[in-house]
Structure 1
């Protein structure tokens, strides 16, 4: 669980990057290649991106933990735009910072590259910089158009939320797994039993949408503005009226309709149970019925089940099927 505590000053300091940060994109994409619970968008991206990975990129992947976490120094603050200034800033990270962030998580014996990085050796720094450059050029650039389109579409949705309802509307509608109850924003991280409390204390918050994450991630460094990464909105999302919700509940039953509506953003069984407020056993039963009716798909990897809507369900929710007028709301 991640709890972000706002002050009145922080509400006026919520920002978004105007475009994706190169090193955030590299870290999130490298993480996505090993993520067990991915959205359909990220899975499609991985099918085309994974074959482009080369051995020269290994230094980057060594900094992504099996649980999907990565050190703050991999994503330094950079004043200017572009990849090169960011890579230069990364390679200039003091060895003491690298040791402080990495040593608590590393085994007693590490390979030559990692030992060089901990000791601040120029060869290991160059290897990391080269890995990031190669990853950007070979893996990210070929898919950058689609990823940036989704990033821009999400910013458009957030801009409309602020225009029509202010910061409260923005924070209340980020994602089904994000809850806003003034002055605390609560969400769930990549590990169920992990809890972090982030006290902004006037530093503000940068919100960072990504189509390559299925859970929220947070960075809280005392020397910079905290960042919350959240899953981009599904481009098929829309708004609803009460008639649509009632008709869907009449057709499927109230709880099952809520389960289906919640899957406008793909979710694991645990995430879905949280969104709807039902038990895991009940969630599993409802997803089994919806799957048998060809309304959802379930992708299973290493013990994790990720549920998503089928095209039939999208048509049902957007009113293409007779008797279900209107459109569906974000849960």
Structure 2
């Protein structure tokens, strides 16, 4: 566990970002960690990645990360801290090369193109929605509320932030910068990096179901054209199954209605039932009411949704 103690200046400089490179590193850790059966929602992606990525490439990358990954109390040059909210993978690979990791940058470029790039457009869409939601919480309610809502065993009790990690570290921050990186593959590993007065760590972003083959490309189509006749549909009905599948990231009633081609009033009724059943929860961000999957909803989708 990493324990960060934030002073007020640091708390006022909390920012959210995404990182293609951190996603790639975390995804590599996932397929290295789960050699046989990768858990939902990563199983479909992992099967494809393991089939396509040459074993020699996977082994060399995994060995490099294992042997060169420095302790969490030192700068982690294999995972440069994002310098902007949404950097391009090319810029992050340049940062790796500038730090003297030319070979690792080339290997990671090859891995990215094979394993992550094909699904990056869908991933990026989900991550940008995640950043929007977290950013609005930050602006509307402040850093305390945003940190409390991160989930995934991250605990915030002012001024202490506890972040799950394989190492144990106390890190007081005075007049620093904290970058929180949303990662869909964070189940593979949690990345933690420091540089000068800046600390960055990854957390599990909402919407990883997009990696299970549930995409957002059906926008505007009638629900009968979108949802297959499977066990989830038999259990919930076509409309509620459509709503459950569409909740890849926190979304409004209007956004869901546009996505699956149902009337907002119908979607609202479905959400009320799913919420009562404990599959979906709602929360307010400013004037918007957003809905997202509970763990039970994600589990049901994993069990019956394919």
Which TM bucket (shorter chain)? Answer: 0.5 to 0.7
Q: Report how many residues are paired.
A: 222
The answer to whether residue 201 in structure 2 is matched with residue 228 in structure 1 is yes
User: Which residue in 2 is equivalent to 1:134?
Assistant: 110
| CA distance in 1 between partners of 2:147 and 2:107 (Å) | 36
Deviations 1:112-131 (A, max 9, x none): xxxxxxxxxxxxx5532321
1:211 matches 2:211 = no
Q: C-alpha distance in 1, partners of 2:251/2:21?
A: 31
Structure 1 segments (4+ residues) deviating >4 Å: 77-81, 236-239, 243-249, 312-315
Residues 205 and 226, structure 1, Cα contact 8 Å, conserved in 2:
yes
Instruction: Describe the SS at the equivalent of 2:66.
Output: coil
Tell me the distance in 1 between the aligned counterparts of 2:115 and 2:152.
30
Map 1:185-204; keep pairs closer than 5 Å: 185-189=161-165, 191=166, 194-204=167-177
Determine the C-alpha separation between the residues in 1 that align with 2:51 and 2:197. 36
- Among candidates 82, 95, 101, match of residue 89 of structure 1: 95
Structure 1 position 77, deviation (Å): 4.8
Name 2:50's counterpart in structure 1.
50
Question: How far is 1:313 from its partner?
Answer: 9.7
- Do the aligned partners of residues 62 and 133 (structure 1) sit closer, same or farther apart at CA in structure 2, a change above 3 Å counting? same
Matched with 2:221 is: none
State which of 166, 175, 180 in structure 1 corresponds to 2:156.
180
Partners of 2:121 and 2:153 lie apart in 1 by: 27
Matched residue SS, 1:217: coil
Matches within 5 A, 1:88-127: 88-93=94-99, 126-127=102-103
Asked if structure 2 preserves the Cα contact closer than 8 Å seen for 1:213 and 1:231, the reply is: yes
For structure 2, list consecutive stretches of 5 or more residues without a partner in the other structure. Answer: 71-75, 208-247, 253-271, 279-292
* Alpha-carbon contact 2:154-2:161 (below 8 Å) kept: yes
Aligned to 1:76: 80
Structure 1's 311 and 167: CA in aligned 2 closer, same or farther, altered over 3 A? same
In the other structure, the counterpart of 2:62 is: 61
CA distance in 1, matches of 2:95, 2:126: 27
* Structure 1 position 57, deviation (Å): 5.2
CA distance in 2, matches of 1:244, 1:224: 48
Query: If the length of structure 1 is used for normalisation, what is the TM-score?
Result: 0.56
Distance 1:224 1:49, change over 3 A: farther
Q: Does the 8 Å CA contact 1:198/1:220 hold for their aligned counterparts? A: no
Deviations along 1:24-81, one digit per CA (max 9) or x if unpaired, are 2321221122234966233332122222212345432222339xx9441212357685
C-alpha displacement at 1:154, in angstroms?
1.4
Contact preservation (8 Å) 2:180, 2:203: yes
Matches of 1:144 and 1:209, distance apart in 2: 14
Residue deviations 1:138-192 (CA, integer Å, cap 9, x gap): 1111111222122112112212322442211101101141221110112322x3x
Cα distance in 2, alignment partners of residues 127 and 167 from structure 1:
39
The DSSP-based 3-state class of the residue aligned with 1:73 is coil
RMSD: 3.7
Alpha carbons of 1:56 and 1:126: their partners in 2 closer, same or farther (altered >3 Å)?
farther
Larger radius of gyration: 1
- Counterpart in the other structure of 2:223: none
The offset of 1:228, in angstroms, is 1.6
Partner of 2:16: 16
> What secondary structure is seen at the aligned counterpart in 2 of 1:48?
helix
Q: Distance in 2 between matches of 1:158 and 1:79?
A: 18
Please give the alpha-carbon distance, in whole angstroms, between the structure 2 residues aligned to 1:130 and 1:181: 41
